[in-house]
Amino acid sequence: MTAPTLSTDTLFHEIPIGSHPGMLVPARVYADDALWREIAEGHALDQLCNVAALPGVEQRVYGMPDMHEGYGFPVGGVAATRVSDGVISPGGVGYDINCGVRLLTSSVTLARVAPRLESLVHELSRSIPSGGYANPRLSLDAAGLDAVLREGSRSLLGRGLATADDLAHTEAGGALEEADPDAVSVRAKQRGHDQLGTLGSGNHFVEVEVVDQVLDPVAAAAYGLVEGRLAVLIHTGSRGLGHQVCTDYVRLMLGLLPGWKIQLPDRQLACAPLAEPEGQRYFAAMCAAANFAFANRQVITAAVRDAFGAVLGTAAGLQVCYDVAHNMAKLERHDGTELCVHRKGATRAFGPAHPETPAAYRGIGQPVFIPGSMGTASWVLAGTDEALALSFGSACHGAGRALSRTAARAAASGAQIRRTLEGQGIVVRCPSARGLAEEAPLAYKDVERVVGVVHEAGLARKVARLRPIGVIKG
Amino acid sequence: MAEERVAPQVAIPEPSGGSGGGSRSPGGGQGPGRMTMSFAPHASFEHLPHVGELRLRLRGASIADVLGQAALALADVLLPERPPAGPERVHEIVLDAPDRAALLIDWLNELLFLAERDRWLPSRIDLHEATETHLRATARGPVLECAPSLVKAATWHGLRFEVGDGGFEAEVLLDI
């Protein structure tokens, strides 16, 4: 690949068409010099350039500042394809469909909870199944699961698990209308039927945070963020159900590519024309899995409320600030063209004027969450209208991994990580010592630097900084 | 705390010379109770660098060797930190795929599906047939307290399954 052009004024690196075989559009990566060096070390740039070769890809593909090597798409990659003659790629969404982050704000101060923090984290870990544990309180029969797949969080209304206000503060109201449960295989349903309200493994977590610093008082007030008060971040997705949907459709599409005369540089980029029945069917299945993920985070929200109530004795005023996906393909209109915007490890960052910004946040911009890594800060930002032109209205989804899991384990044991975090006053619960070591803060990029690029590049603007005090890892 | 984990055993249709040659990644460990495996001396798996996921290199004298190593590598990742103690469950697995690389992906994803759906981990696999496009196996293992859910799927990214002078070699990336 030829050397990219650096724009030092705007914090992006441009990779022109022709730098890599098959590119139909240029690629742009938002990064400062230090982040760029990290990104360029692996295969993430090659992967991003491969994405630029997808049929019907529009304008430009983007890499976010947390971008790192993934499979097919890089993690932190954004690509839009034309609905008219483009494709949809399950690999561009990933196996964990609608993996996403939800932030709950509260009326509880750190001073009030501090003496009972250990009990609170214990109660959260006890009431939210993690690792491979199923939810013993909510195994769904076939009709119940189909209702979740069709209606997402809306299916939980009236059951003490969701409120209308929760749904109003969830992307798409927590229910994608295009979902079709019949497009989801029996196998996927078998994997998911007892997983609603569970965290899963890997980098998924529930974190208790304290609002450490407010940088934009107006936006923070709209979001319900007050310095010194607690908040809760929930990071999980569609669990085994979503994984199986991706597995099923990648396999299906690979067999059909020759008939569509589509040649790809990487089989994980398997795709289907959006105009073909298989493309539409995947989209309907993906939306169903996404609804499962919205409902999953909603059920966990109910468990968090119960845990706070049990430990503190009173309602903690836990409100959904927002719930946003970072593994998803969405149909959106940009510059007058209907596009399918794939965000793989990237989140929407719609601004104050965007019609899909929730009503409560018009004039502010939608909340954008960039979690750190257990021992480091997480950030709340606000989407900008400028981001539409900069990145199809997208920002990054986290700090981004810097070390492999093997290297992270070699650097520090789970016990060492636990002691370090506890030394910082952070209470940790994790079912796996190995998992704790693999998700250590040192395995991730510097979140302050990543957020700085997002802010300076205009993808989203800083609102508030959160500091972790309790961590439940998947 | 020492991990007490039990390695799976894989039997292949035509042992390709020697036994007990299965090797593991440096981080894989050799905890108590690990069983001897029936592979060619150079049959092996190892972890290759990848920043976010898990890339495996698998080697063997035959397709069956490589598929067996893939099962071992997967079980090594999925093995719980508490020893399994549930009743045994048996799965008969028959797969057909367009080529051996696709067969490798289908094999791993089949094991992942069964592991999660049935809260199960293979501890013995009998590979009755393993050709370029077809596999027939019996997999048995304990039912676990919870599903071994660390691996989401075997992906097609960078997938290769090649034959050379030294036998077969494959690389596959697991989504963690």
pLDDT tens-digit series, residues A300-331: 999 999 999 999 988 899 999 999 999 999 99
Tell me the residue type at A238.
S
Q: What is the pLDDT of residue B10?
A: 75
Percent of chain B with pLDDT over 70: 75
Q: What is the pLDDT of residues B142-153, one digit of tens each?
A: 999 899 989 999
> Are A168 and A322 in contact, with CB atoms under 8 Å apart?
no
Using a 10 angstrom Cβ sphere, with 0-12 exposed, 13-18 middle and 19 or more buried, the burial of residue B164 is: exposed
Chain B: closest CA distance from residue A246 (Å): 9
- DSSP H stretches of helix in A313-413: 387-391, 405-411
Quickly state the pLDDT bin for B19 (edges 50, 70, 90).
very low
B4, B50, B149: which to substitute to probe chain A, counting the most A Cβ within 10 Å? B149
Local structure of residue B22 (DSSP, 8 states) = -
What percent of chain A has a predicted confidence (pLDDT) above 90? Answer: 92
Which residues of A are less than 8 Å from B155 in CB distance?
Answer: 71-72, 91, 95, 268
- Report CA torsion sign: A309, A314, A315, A316: negative
The CATH class that applies to domain B9-175 reads alpha beta
Of B25, B157, B176, the CB nearest to A268: B157
pLDDT value at residue B28: 34
CB within 8 Å of A297: residues ≥ 6 apart? A100, A102, A234, A236, A323
B176 chain-A contacts, CB cut-off 8 A: 202, 405
Model pLDDT for residues A154-177, shown as the tens digit of each residue? 999 999 999 999 999 999 999 999
**Partners of A414 in the β-ladder:** none
Domains of chain A, earliest start first: 5-402+444-473 (3.90.1860.10)
Among candidates A453, A454, A428, A459, which has minimal Cα distance to A441? A428
* Size of the A and B interface in Cβ pairs below 8 Å: 106
Mean pLDDT of chain A: 95
Asked whether residue B43 carries a pLDDT value surpassing 60, the answer given is yes
Q: Provide the residue count of chain B.
A: 176
- Name the CA dihedral angle for A274, A275, A281, A287, rounded to a multiple of 10 degrees: 40
**Which of A195, A243, A327, A413 to substitute to test the interface with B, most B CBs within 10 Å?**
A243
Quick one: pLDDT band at residue A139, thresholds 50, 70, 90? confident
Q: What is the mean pLDDT of residues A259-287?
A: 97
Q: How far, CA to CA in Å, does A130 sit from each of A211, A329, B133?
A: 25, 27, 37
Under DSSP, the state recorded for A361 is: G
What distance in Å separates the CA atoms of residue A97 and residue A281, rounded to the nearest whole number?
Answer: 15
Nearest Cβ partner for B157 among A71, A402, A406: A71
CB burial string A327-346: b at 16+ within 10 A, e below:
bbbbebeeeeeebbbbbbbb
> What are the tokens at A97?
């469909």
pLDDT at A457 over 50: yes
Q: What are phi and psi of A215, to 5 degrees?
A: -105, -25
The pLDDT score that the predictor gives to residue B1 is 33
Query: A351: which residues sit within 8 A by CB, 6+ positions away?
Result: A357, A365, A366, A382, A383, A384, A385, A386, A387, A388, A393
* Partner-chain residue, chosen from B1, B52, B156, that has the shortest CB–CB distance to A250: B156
Question: Where do the H-state alpha helices sit in A323-474?
Answer: 387-391, 405-411, 414-423, 433-438, 447-457
Confidence of residue B83 (pLDDT cuts 50, 70, 90): low
**Predicted complex: ipTM over 0.85:** yes
Closest Cα to residue A139, out of A127, A151, A148?
A148
With beta carbons under 8 A apart, name residues in chain B contacting A96: 152
